[in-house]
Amino acid sequence: MNRIAHLFIILVTPAPLAAADYAKDIKPLLKERCVSCHGSVKQKGDLRLDAGALISKDVHHDLLARVTSSDEDERMPPEGARLTPAQIEMLRQWFAAGAIYPKDEVIPKKPSEHWSFQPVKRPPVPASTFGHPIDAFVFGKNEPPPQAKPMALLRRVHLDLTGLPPTIPEQERFAKEPSLERVIDGLLARPEYGERWARHWLDVVRYADSNGYERDAEKPFVWRYRDYVIESLNNDKPFNRFVIEQLAGDELPDRSVETHIATGFLRLGHWDDEPADPAADRYDQLDDIVSTTGQTFLGLTIGCARCHDHKFEPLATRDYYSLVAVFNPLQRPTKGRTELTIPVDGTEIYTWNEPSAKAPETHVLVRGSPTRFGDLVEPAVPAILVKQQPQFPAGEKTTQRRLGLAQWIASPNNPLTARVIVNRVWQQHFGQGLVTTANDFGLMGAAPSHPELLDWLAHWFVHDAKWSLKKLHRLILTSSAWRSSSVEQRAKSGEPKPSDSSLSALSPSLYRYRRLEAEAIRDSILAVSGQLNPKRFGPAMRPAIPVAALEANTDKDKIWKASDEHEASRRSIYAFIKRGLVVPMLETLDLADTVSSCPQRQVTTVAPQALTLFNGDFVNQQAKHFATRLKREAGDDPTKQISHAWRLALCREPSSDELAKMRAFLQNESLEQLCRVILNLNEFVYPE
C-alpha cells in the first residue's frame, strides 16, 4: 500500500471510542434512564440496575437487545427518547470489557431497610461527662461549645417560647435569680406559649382564613380551629390525642364540640367554589387531605402516587387510593358556591360531614383520571410500614375509617409519627432539624445528622414524656447544645457578619443564628412600643395595609376592611390570612406558603424587607408609640431614654460607644427617629 492510500485510510477511519468508565458514564446513564423501574424501590422483571454488582453477565445480551429493539412493546426504556447510538455503544463496550465496577461500591438498601421505616428503639446514652442525655449524644466526651451569656439566653428563651422579648421586670428578676429552668417552666405555663407554637403547627397544616382561587371567599368560623390548636398546646394535650382529634374527632366515643372543631384540619385546604370539572375537583380535595396527612404526621410524600407508583419511594398507587378510601365517605357541606358549617351543640363548626356509616366504593384511578376506574380498594395504610394492616372497624353513624387510621398513626408502634414531631420541635429551637427535610422522611429525604439521638428522643417522648410537648421543650432547652452561643460559633468560624445561609454547614445540634419569623418581629415591635393588645381568640383581625396593595383588585373598596388600631394590635396569629391578599408586611418577611404544607419558613434577604421595616407605615406608627412610652417611663433625660429603650428592645444596657452615638443622634433627630432606628437593628430581629 502506498503512503497516500495509507494516509487516506487513517483519515477516514473513525477513532475508536474511549473505554466506557462505570462511574463517569455507565452509572449516571442507568440512574437517569433505568433505575426508576429497575432499582431498589421497584424491580420490574426482578432486575436491578442500581449497582454494578447486581448486573450479572446473564442479562448483558438481553439488555442490549431491549435497548436496540425496534418493537415498541419490547424496547427499553419504555417511555421517553431512545438511548442514543453513543450510549448504546458505551454499554456494549462496558459489557465487552467485563462490566468492571468499583469493588467498594455501596449497594443501595432495600426500601424496607430504610432508617425511618424501622421500629423506634431506644439506644443507650453514650458515656459522657455530661449529665444531660442530649449533650451526651451531641458532645460525647468532648468539650461543649461556649455558652451564650445569661441575659442573651433569657431573651432567646422568651422569643423561642412566646415570640415576645422579656420585660424589664422579668430581666430584673432573672438578674437576681438566674435560673433558666424556672424561666422555662414559667414561659411554658403562659398563654403566649400556645400563641407562639400554634403558628408553627398552622404552617404545617396549610392554615388560612380564605379559600383561595378567584373569589377567595372567607372560610366561615375557621378561626375556631386556630383557637383549638392554641388551647391544645397550652393545655399540653398529649400529641397522640392531638393527632386523633384532628383526623377523627367526630368519631371518638368521647367526642365533644372541641373534638369536632379539631377535624377542621381536614378542610383547611384551598377550595374552588366553581370548578370546571366537578369530578376532578372532588379528587383534588381528597388529594389535599391525603397529601397533607401524609406530610404532616408521617413525613411521607404519598401524594406523588396519585397518578402512578411513586418513582422514588416505596409507595404504590394502591397505597394512595387506600388512603383515599379512608376519607372518601366525607362530604363538603355547601349550598351552591357558598360553604356551610355544621352545627354541633349550638356553635357553628367548619368541618366536613360524614353522613352515613356506609362508605362509597373507592377505585384506583388509572393515571389519576376520575373517568377511568381501576381496581376496587379498601382502607389501608402504606404497605411498606406494616407487617399487618390495622383494623378499620365498622361504625354505626360514620364509617369509623378515619378513627382506624388516626389510631394507627398515633400508635407507639408507628415508626414515623414520633420521629417526625420530635424533629419539628428540634427544628424550631435550633433553626434546623436533625432531619433537614421535615416533611420527607422517605428514601429521597435527608438522612438524620444524629440518628441515635433522634431515636432516643422519639422513644423518650412516647414512653417517658407520654407524648408531652412541654416536657420535650424543657428537655431540649435545658441542654448545653441549645444554650450554645451562635456569636461564639461565628467568631470561631471567622465570619463576623454571616447571613443565615452562610451558616448552613453548622451542626444542627448547635443553636443557629437566624432571623425571627414575620409574626415574632411584628409582635415584638408591638410589645416594645407598649401597644400589644393581649386579647385572645375569636374572629381574625385585619391589620391596615397600604392602599397600593388594593389597587389591583376589582372590589378594592370591599376586599379588605381594616380593623381599628387597637384591634389590629393583637398578636399576628390572629391576623386574617387571605390567600389572594396576604398582609404585605407578613408576606415580605417570608410568611409560610398558604396553599400546601410548609415544613420550614424560607429566609430571604431582599430590599423590600428593609423598606418595610424602615419606611413602612406600621413601623413608623409604632416608633411614635415607642417614643411616647420612653418619655412616660424614663422622663426627659436622653441618657435614661436610650438606656430604657435598649433594655426594652434588646434586653441589655447600651455600651458606652452606643450611648455616645445615640446621644449625638438625638442632637439632630427626634426621639421618634431614634426609636425607628432601634426597631431596625439586626439585634432586634435576631434572637442573639
Residue 412 has what pLDDT? Answer: 95
User: pLDDT-based confidence at 500, cuts 50/70/90?
Assistant: very low
CB contact at 8 A, 1 and 73: no
Residue 278 has what pLDDT? Answer: 94
Nearest to 327 by CA among 399, 424, 386: 399
Q: What is the pLDDT of residues 393-421, one digit of tens each?
A: 888 999 999 999 999 999 999 999 999 99
Q: What is the pLDDT of residues 79-88, one digit of tens each?
A: 888 899 998 8
User: pLDDT-based confidence at 248, cuts 50/70/90?
Assistant: very high
Flag whether pLDDT at 444 surpasses 50: yes
Residue 36 has what pLDDT? Answer: 79
Residue 470 has what pLDDT? Answer: 98
Q: Does the bond joining 77 to the residue before it have cis omega, within 30 degrees of 0?
A: yes
Nearest to 208 by CA among 587, 605, 589: 587
- Mean pLDDT value of segment 555-580: 94
Residue 144 has what pLDDT? Answer: 80
Residues 6+ positions from 164 with CB-CB distance below 8 Å: 158, 192, 196, 520, 523, 524, 527, 532
pTM score: 0.89
- Mean pLDDT value of segment 457-463: 98
Distance CA 272, CA 144 (A): 53
Nearest to 520 by CA among 234, 195, 276, 50: 195
User: pLDDT-based confidence at 120, cuts 50/70/90?
Assistant: very high
Please report, rounded to a whole number, the percentage of residues in the chain having pLDDT higher than 70.
94
What's the N-to-C CA distance of the chain in angstroms?
84
CB contact at 8 A, 509 and 450: yes
Residue 272 has what pLDDT? Answer: 94
Flag whether pLDDT at 490 surpasses 90: no
Residue 596 DSSP code:
S
Q: What is the pLDDT of residues 31-45, one digit of tens each?
A: 888 887 898 787 888
- Mean pLDDT value of segment 245-256: 97
One-character DSSP codes across 421-490: HHHHHHHHHHSS-SSS-TT--STTSPPPSSHHHHHHHHHHHHHTSTT-HHHHHHHHHTSTTTTB-HHHHH
- Mean pLDDT value of segment 332-359: 93
Distance CA 428, CA 131 (A): 24
- Mean pLDDT value of segment 479-487: 89
Q: What is the pLDDT of residues 64-112, one digit of tens each?
A: 888 888 888 888 888 888 899 998 899 899 988 888 989 888 888 888 9
Residue 508 has what pLDDT? Answer: 66
Residue 507 has what pLDDT? Answer: 63
Flag whether pLDDT at 497 surpasses 50: no
- Mean pLDDT value of segment 471-476: 98
Q: What value does the mean pLDDT of the chain take?
A: 92
Length of the chain: 688
Distance CA 350, CA 219 (A): 8
User: pLDDT-based confidence at 502, cuts 50/70/90?
Assistant: very low
Flag whether pLDDT at 669 surpasses 70: yes
- Mean pLDDT value of segment 572-591: 97
Q: What is the pLDDT of residues 201-222, one digit of tens each?
A: 999 999 999 999 999 999 999 9
Residue 505 has what pLDDT? Answer: 39
Nearest to 292 by CA among 594, 602, 517, 583: 594
Amino acid at position 183, single letter: V
The domain locations on the chain are 22-108, 117-189+418-513, 238-409, 518-606, 617-685
CB contact at 8 A, 530 and 168: no
Flag whether pLDDT at 679 surpasses 80: yes
CA 50 to chain centre: 31
Residue 252 has what pLDDT? Answer: 97
Flag whether pLDDT at 598 surpasses 60: yes
Flag whether pLDDT at 162 surpasses 50: yes
Q: What is the pLDDT of residues 640-661, one digit of tens each?
A: 999 999 999 999 999 999 999 9
Residue 511: exposed, middle, or buried by beta-carbon count in 10 A (0-12, 13-18, 19+)? buried
Residue 2 has what pLDDT? Answer: 59
Flag whether pLDDT at 17 surpasses 70: no
Nearest to 429 by CA among 490, 512, 500, 489: 512
